[in-house]
Amino acid sequence: GHEKTNFLAEGDSALTMIGKDFKKAVSKLNYTLKKKL
């Protein structure tokens, strides 16, 4: 099956990838994607 990825919108310029339980992923990696305008 496919892994479902959810994103939590943080303001108008960032999306943070979160897990299935809608909690922010805990990792050393930066999961926030900045929108490119």
Widest Cα–Cα separation across the chain:
33
| Per-residue pLDDT, 16 | 60
| Per-residue pLDDT, 37 | 61
**Amino acid occupying residue 34:** K
What number of H helices and E strands is found in the chain? 0, 3
| Per-residue pLDDT, 23 | 55
pTM: 0.19
**Angstrom distance (rounded) from CA 13 to CA 8:** 11
| Per-residue pLDDT, 19 | 57
Range of the domain at 25: 1-37
Q: Is 6 within 8 Å of 20 (Cβ atoms)?
A: yes
Looking at the structure of the chain, the number of domains it has is 1
Beta bridge partners of 17: 7
pLDDT digits (tens, 9 = 90+) for 1-37: 666 666 666 666 666 666 555 555 555 555 566 666 6
| Per-residue pLDDT, 28 | 52
| Per-residue pLDDT, 33 | 62
